[in-house]
Structure formats: C-alpha cells, structure tokens
C-alpha cells in the first residue's frame, strides 16, 4: 500500500517539522540527549503506546473522520475488551456492589447510515471507568464484565441502556508520559467519558466518546480528544442523567 514515494514524503515532512521546532527553540545538545534518554526510558517501560495515544492518536482520528464522513470519531484508548456481556435493550451494565449507589445514567440514541436509514442489528460496545477512575479487566483486579456491555440496535436503529456515570480519569502519571506532561506544566487528567465502538455489517467500525458539558477537564483533556460534537448536554430526569448520542456511520 504505502509506496516509496509516500513513505519518503511523509517521513521527510515529519523530520522537517521536528527540525523546524529544534531551530525555532535553539535546542541544545544536552536537551537532545535528554530527549534520547526519555525515548529509551519510555520504550523500556512499555510506555510508547500511551505516549503516542496522548500526542498523536487524536490526529489520526481527525484524519479518519475527514476521509470517511459521518459522525466524528474519537480515540479508542487502551481499555477496550472484545466480547463484553450482551445487554438487552433497556438493560443495565453490571456495576460492582460498592458502585451501585452512584449517579445513574441512561444512554440512548440512534444509529443510521449516511442517508439517514436506521441501522438495525448494529452492535454498540459501551465501556467506561469505575467512579474511582479504574477500568475493569485492567486495574485493581476488577472483573472485566463490570461497566462494559454490547447492545444490539432495534429495527429503528435505536439503543437504550443504563449504567452509572463515570468520573474524570487520570492516565498513568508515574511513567515517562506522565513525567513529560508534568515537566511541560500540564496535568494527566481526562474528562469523564463513555466509550462507544459500533460495528454493523458492511459498515465502517465507528469509535467514539461522549463527554459532559461543564465537566472537569472538558476544556483541558490531556489527550486533546474533546471536540464540540462529543460534548453532551445531559438532561437529568428522576435523578438519572440522560446521555443521548446518535451515530451516523459510513460504509466500510
Ligand atoms: C483512557 O481512558 C482513554 O480513554 C484514552 C483515550 C487514553 C488513556 C486512557
Ligand atoms: Fe477512557
């Protein structure tokens, strides 16, 4: 796919961009060596995926959105798990005993194609952190079925499922990526978010996130993923936050 001309064009421009920044700031040999040590440390500590997610994955997602059309996509992040529990329409994601009393959320919306035709039988994966900012299956031995599920859209392309509200999430702050953000005077927090991954026969796999209007870090996501289209103004009804998100999905 990628031919010599494309590899040459892309890599040359990347190198040119880095050189321009080095010239602009008169980067010293000491700083150059610090950067080299940083990259070696990030590699040794397996922190390269987080480093790339934090600084560049959003760019790839923006390009994908521009090329494909439909609803704007978002970062997948590191915590998706295949084959999460199947949840019936109007069902509820499993929550740990200690999370049961948390603010409830009702996630609903509709999935259509670019012509507005409903996509029935599409699979919507939804996952989010615990209220203490951990992801099941990855952190603290939390069983992987909590706060995750798959919902199949109905004949009208609709989905509806209940869960609890997530809270802001701190990416690992003790590794090289966290240290770099701290050294830049930045923080390591993401705004509270729901993750969505939608698959339907013959359609492009659509990955998205939803953020909450007025929430902490919505204007200052350390991964720079938030865009206006993904910030939901939730309504509260009977103490339940209603998070309504429609998805328009292009063909594969
Ligand atoms: C997350 O939970 C996340 O969603 C992203 C994009 C990066 C790190 C952690
Ligand atoms: Fe996340």
Ligand 1 contact via 105 beta carbon (within 6 Å): no
pLDDT digits (tens, 9 = 90+) for 70-97: 999 999 999 999 999 999 999 999 999 9
Residue nearest to atom 1 of ligand 1 (CA): 77
Cβ atoms < 10 Å from Cβ of 83: 9
Stretch 47-61: mean pLDDT: 95
Where does 93-174 show beta strands of DSSP type E? Answer: 104-113, 123-127, 148-152, 158-164, 169-170
* 200 CA → ligand 2 middle, Å: 22
Query: 137 in a domain, yes or no?
Result: yes
Query: 84 in a domain, yes or no?
Result: yes
* 86 CA → ligand 2 middle, Å: 20
Query: 162 in a domain, yes or no?
Result: yes
| pLDDT tier, 239 (very low <50, low <70, confident <90, very high otherwise) | confident
Complex prediction ipTM: 0.97
Percentage of the chain beyond pLDDT 90 is 93
Rg of the chain taking only CA atoms, in angstroms: 20
Beta bridge partners of 86: 150
Which domain CATH number covers 198?
A: 2.60.130.10
Q: Are 144 and 127 in contact (CB under 8 A)?
A: no
What contacts 83, CB < 8 A, 6 or more positions away? Answer: 150
Query: 53 in a domain, yes or no?
Result: no
| pLDDT tier, 2 (very low <50, low <70, confident <90, very high otherwise) | low
Among 102, 182, 171, 100, residue whose Cα is nearest residue 138: 171
pLDDT digits (tens, 9 = 90+) for 124-170: 999 999 988 999 999 999 999 999 999 999 999 999 999 999 999 99
Ligand 1 contact via 208 beta carbon (within 6 Å): no
Which token pair is 65?
């959105």
Tally of structural domains, the chain: 1
Which token pair is 122?
């599409």
Which token pair is 95?
């929550």
Query: 142 in a domain, yes or no?
Result: yes
Residue with tokens 């915590």: 79
Query: 11 in a domain, yes or no?
Result: no
Query: 38 in a domain, yes or no?
Result: no
| pLDDT tier, 1 (very low <50, low <70, confident <90, very high otherwise) | low
159 is in which domain, residue-wise?
Answer: 66-249
Ligand 1 contact via 223 beta carbon (within 6 Å): yes
* 199 CA → ligand 2 middle, Å: 19
Query: 105 in a domain, yes or no?
Result: yes
């Amino acid at each position: 796919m990628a031919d010599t001309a494309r590899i040459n064009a892309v890599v040359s421009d990347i190198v040119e961009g880095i050189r321009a920044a080095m010239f602009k700031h008169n980067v010293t040999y000491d700083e150059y060596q610090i950067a080299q040590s940083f990259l070696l440390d990030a590699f040794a500590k397996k922190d390269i995926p987080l480093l790339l997610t934090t600084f560049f994955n959003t760019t790839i997602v923006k390009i994908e959105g521009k090329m494909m059309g439909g609803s704007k996509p978002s970062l997948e992040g590191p915590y998706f798990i295949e084959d999460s529990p199947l949840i019936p329409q109007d069902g509820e994601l499993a929550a740990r005993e200690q999370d049961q009393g948390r603010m409830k959320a009702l996630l609903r919306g509709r999935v259509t194609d670019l012509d507005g035709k409903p996509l029935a039988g599409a699979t919507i994966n939804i996952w989010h952190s615990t209220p203490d900012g951990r992801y099941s299956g990855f952190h603290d031995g939390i069983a992987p079925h909590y706060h995750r599920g798959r919902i199949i859209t109905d004949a009208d392309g609709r989905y509806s499922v209940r869960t609890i509200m997530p809270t802001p999430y701190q990416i690992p702050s003790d590794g090289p990526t966290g240290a770099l953000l701290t050294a830049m005077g930045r923080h390591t927090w993401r705004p509270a978010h729901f993750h969505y991954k939608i698959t339907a026969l013959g359609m492009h796999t659509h990955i998205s996130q939803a953020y909450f209007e007025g929430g902490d870090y919505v204007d200052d996501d350390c991964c720079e993923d938030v865009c206006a289209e993904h910030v939901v103004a939730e309504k509260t009804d009977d103490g339940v936050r209603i998070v309504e998100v429609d998805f328009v999905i292009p063909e594969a």
